[in-house]
């Protein structure tokens, strides 16, 4: 039910032209579900919850130092903007890793 309320508020803010991104992060950041490696979207991007298991990862690359990770340096998990409102583990990795 709470999820429906958030979605409704996001839609209303979007229609009114309000800033939705900070709202989404504030409202759903800690409450967002954790991305599962077996999710279709995760599989398509070869997401793993432990970067040491990613054979294509550049040494040292992981979600915590990816530009799409919204957590701070002390977080263990946070929303990844690539996966919408799902959280990823700080030690995770996927093939979209970028550090601009
Ligand atoms: Fe992690 Fe970045 Fe991939 Fe998101 S885009 S899962 S933060 S490596």
Residue 92 Cβ inside 6 Å of ligand 1? The answer reads yes
Q: What is the CATH number of domain 8-89?
A: 4.10.490.10
Ligand 1 centroid distance, CA of 74 (Å): 16
The residue ranking higher by pLDDT, 25 or 79, is 79
Q: How far is the CA of 91 from the CAs of 7, 27, 75, 83, 95, in angstroms?
A: 29, 23, 10, 16, 14
| pLDDT tens digits along 18-75 | 334 444 444 456 789 999 999 999 999 999 999 999 999 999 999 999 999 999 999 9
pLDDT at residue 16 is higher than 70: no
The ranges assigned to domains in the chain are 8-89
Residue 89 Cβ inside 6 Å of ligand 1? The answer reads no
Residue 41 Cβ inside 6 Å of ligand 1? The answer reads no
Q: What is the pLDDT of residue 90?
A: 98
Q: What is the pLDDT of residue 28?
A: 59
Helix or strand (DSSP H, E) at 85: none
Read off the tokens for 89.
């583990």
Ligand 1 centroid distance, CA of 71 (Å): 11
86/92 Cα distance (integer angstroms):
13
pTM: predicted TM-score of the whole model, two decimal places: 0.74
């Amino acid at each position: 039910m709470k999820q429906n309320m958030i979605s409704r508020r996001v839609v209303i803010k979007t229609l009114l032209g309000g800033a939705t991104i900070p709202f989404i992060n504030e409202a759903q950041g800690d409450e967002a579900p954790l991305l599962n490696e077996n999710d279709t979207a995760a599989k398509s991007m070869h997401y793993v919850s432990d970067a040491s298991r990613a054979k294509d990862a550049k040494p040292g690359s992981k979600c915590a130092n990816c530009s799409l990770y919204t957590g701070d340096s002390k977080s263990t998990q946070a929303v990844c903007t690539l996966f919408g409102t799902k959280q990823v583990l700080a030690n995770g990795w996927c093939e979209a890793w970028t550090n601009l």
